[in-house]
Amino acid sequence: MEKGYKNLGILLLLLIPITIIGFLKTYLGEFPNFEKDPGPAIHFHFTVSAIWIILFIAQPLLIKTKKHQYHRLLGRFSYVLFILILISFIPIYLKQIQYDYLPLTILTTSDIISVVLFYGLAIYHKKKVTVHMRFMIVLTLVFIFPAVGRIFIHWWGFSFMQNMTAGFVLKSILLLGLIIKDRSNSKNYMPYLIGIIFFTIRQTAIILAFYKII
């Protein structure tokens, strides 16, 4: 693993408390005795998403400890998990369409597209380890920011647009920081640049929909 990313797995352990805090009020705090059971679709989506996050943490740790065989094994397992993630989005997407709120529809649609896009690019470049890793880092942002958004909304009282704006700014700062880091070390920062472009397009579409310009 690249010297600058050798402690990536340890850093990604922060995803665990972020996820717990983010979903504490809306899911984990009531589990398993929900006042109003969210239904099997939500349970399924949360479970497979949590497994994804565990996978994100485990993979760089396996590389760091030179457990390459297990890294490849989990990589193959991710093919199945990817399909399960897409399946888990279907009932959520169909339910949100019923709200007839275009900004939310754009958000969920873009989440699905981002999973397909960044996972697909990561797998396409799986033999180019440095590029593969960077696309997986961008994909990690896609999965962790729903938890971050819930912290903004349920702990800090943010509105929908305040949440979307804060999330976009944070993602942009993180990706710009990684681009500057890679550029200064003459590394391939293109995955991060693609990530910023995608999140900027999504944020623009949400803003236009929120203000009913589209």
Domain locations in the chain as residue ranges: 3-210
Q: Which two tokens stand for residue 9?
A: 């797995």
Q: Which of 37-51, 145-159, 187-201 has the lowest mean pLDDT?
A: 37-51
The answer to whether the predicted template modeling score (pTM) of the entire model surpasses 0.85 is: yes
Whole-number pLDDT of residue 52: 92
Whole-number pLDDT of residue 1: 64
Question: For residue range 114-143, what is the model confidence (pLDDT) as tens digits?
Answer: 999 999 999 999 999 899 999 999 999 999
Contact 135, 125 (CB under 8 A): yes
Contact 9, 59 (CB under 8 A): yes
Report the phi/psi class of residue 101: left, alpha or beta, with left for phi > 0 and alpha for psi in -120 to 50: beta
